[in-house]
Amino acid sequence: MKLAQLEQLLTIYQEHEKAALTQLKEARVYLMQHQQQVAALQGYQQDYRESLPQNTNDKQCLSATTLHQFDGFIGQIGQSIHRQVKVIAEVELHVDRCYQAWLAQHKKTQAIENIMEKEKKKQRSIEEQREQRLQDESNQRRYPHRKK
């Protein structure tokens, strides 16, 4: 493959790698947002639990309905946390898939870069040999009596 073709292919691969990296970054941000939501819900649940009067005399002042509502609300927060944890697991899988896609594209880009470098070395070597041959021919014409 010619160097110009390799450069075009490299440009395409670099664009694909950049797009894959953007997707990976977005997925990681999305994951972090969900992790923060779980942390906030857990903190809210803990704060709400602690808001229940600790003194047994204060608890006696609370009606059964109030305690039932309190317990129900704590349960709803727990369910929300559970749902968010499931979402996090799915998002983690998505992040991993995005990482694998980026890694595969990165390896393709590196492979093309390596091929291009070898092609450039090959072309430099050919050019150096051509220049050496021209130099030898020039020297041969100037000094025809010298032998190699």
CATH number for 12: 1.10.287.1700
Please report whether residue 95 resides in a domain: yes
Tell me, yes or no, whether 117 lies in a domain: yes
How many structural domains compose the chain? Answer: 1
Look at residue 94 and tell me if it is in a domain. Answer: yes
135 in any annotated domain: yes
pTM of the model: 0.73
Residues whose CB falls within 8 Å of the CB of residue 67, separated by 6 or more in sequence, listed in order: 59
Is 148 a member of any domain? no
Considering only CA atoms, which of 98, 107, 99, 94 is closest in space to residue 14? 107
Q: Tell whether 146 is covered by a domain.
A: no
**pLDDT in 10s for each residue of the chain, 148 residues:** 788 999 999 999 999 999 999 999 999 999 999 999 999 999 999 998 888 766 445 555 677 888 888 889 999 999 999 999 999 999 999 999 999 999 999 999 999 999 999 999 999 999 999 999 999 888 888 887 765 5
Does 115 fall in a domain?
yes
Q: Kind and range of the H or E element at 143? A: none
Domain that holds residue 74: 3-141
Count Cβ atoms below 10 Å from residue 50 Cβ, excluding itself.
8
Instruction: Tell me, yes or no, whether 147 lies in a domain.
Output: no
